[in-house]
């Protein structure tokens, strides 16, 4: 039993993962999970947060690196990936960076539409293009795209966000087929409302527009989950981790809902 636990705890030793949007929320939870299983992790984010390093040992912090980059900037992504590769070849990519904004469709102007596509879709494309050749050369790779239940169903007043997240899932499925025999798997995880900065912004928006209290707004969002609760970042991270651990090789092209049964 002890030997099996040790093997599990070191299952990602010698693997190098890049996690975009990795400084807080879901991205930080994913990075911590990878580190706890022995991986080295490079996070990409536009800002810096101390949240990620909370609870990490001194040795674990040595396996964590941070690069400041906006994934919507193709040249910036190329430069950041080149820097990350100097540390080690990239074995795992988690495209977690995302942005959400709401507006009725007829008030969704070109700027809002473009901003949703630039980060949620184009950022995923830029990062994937940068790492896929190395994964194909090595014959091993894991790409996990953090989409959303908005990529599996429709939500009113977030048409641009839904369109971008649906596109990410389409990309996931197509690419998974292209590389199915190459040792590389491509999957998506699709959280519903999750305890993150993005959710807090949604709560503030509801409070401002409806006059509800923050607790009432949170309860309204939790109602969409059949379990009656909000998803926790660690629960999303667990799904991402599983897709990268030994034994998940047959799972590819999937869009896994992490939503308490909201989307089946």
For the chain, list the domains and their CATH numbers. Answer: 2-258 (3.40.50.720)
The arithmetic mean of pLDDT across residues 108-118, rounded, is 98
The arithmetic mean of pLDDT across residues 218-231, rounded, is 88
Confidence of residue 218 (pLDDT cuts 50, 70, 90): confident
The arithmetic mean of pLDDT across residues 73-87, rounded, is 97
Return the closest-CA partner of residue 142 out of 31, 14, 32, 249.
249
Task: Identify whether the C-beta of residue 120 lies closer than 8 Å to the C-beta of residue 159.
Answer: no
- Asked if the model's pLDDT at residue 159 lies above 90, the reply is yes
The mean pLDDT value of the chain amounts to: 92
The catalytically annotated residue of 37, 155, 157, 161 is 161
What pLDDT was estimated at residue 92? 98
Q: Tokens 């609760």 label which residue? A: 229
Provide the 10 A C-beta neighbour count for residue 202: 18
Integer CA distances (angstroms), 129 to 104, 132, 199, in order: 33, 6, 29
The whole-model pTM stands at 0.92
157 labelled catalytic: no
């Amino acid at each position: 039993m002890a030997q099996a636990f040790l093997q599990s705890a070191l299952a990602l030793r010698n693997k190098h993962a890049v996690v975009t949007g990795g400084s807080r929320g879901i991205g930080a939870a994913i990075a911590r999970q990878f580190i706890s299983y022995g991986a080295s992790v490079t996070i990409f984010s536009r800002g810096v947060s101390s949240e990620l390093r909370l609870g990490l040992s001194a040795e674990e912090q040595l396996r964590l690196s941070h690069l400041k980059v906006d994934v919507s900037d193709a040249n910036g992504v190329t430069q950041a990936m080149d820097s990350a590769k100097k540390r080690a070849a990239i074995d795992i990519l988690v495209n977690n960076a995302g942005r959400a904004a709401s507006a009725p469709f007829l008030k969704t102007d070109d700027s809002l539409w473009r901003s949703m596509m630039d980060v949620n879709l184009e950022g995923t494309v830029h990062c994937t293009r940068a790492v896929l050749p190395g994964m194909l050369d090595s014959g091993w790779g894991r790409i996990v795209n953090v989409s959303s239940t908005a990529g599996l169903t429709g939500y009113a007043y977030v048409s641009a966000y839904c369109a971008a997240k649906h596109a990410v899932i389409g990309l996931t499925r197509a690419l998974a087929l292209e590389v199915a025999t190459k040792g590389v798997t491509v999957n998506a995880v699709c959280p519903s409302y999750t305890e993150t900065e993005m959710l807090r912004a949604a709560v503030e928006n509801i409070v401002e527009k409806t006059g509800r209290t923050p607790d009432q707004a949170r309860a309204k969002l939790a109602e969409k989950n059949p379990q009656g609760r909000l998803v926790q970042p660690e629960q999303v991270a667990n799904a991402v981790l599983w897709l990268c651990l030994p034994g998940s090789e047959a799972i590819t092209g999937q869009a896994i809902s992490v939503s308490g049964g909201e989307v089946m």
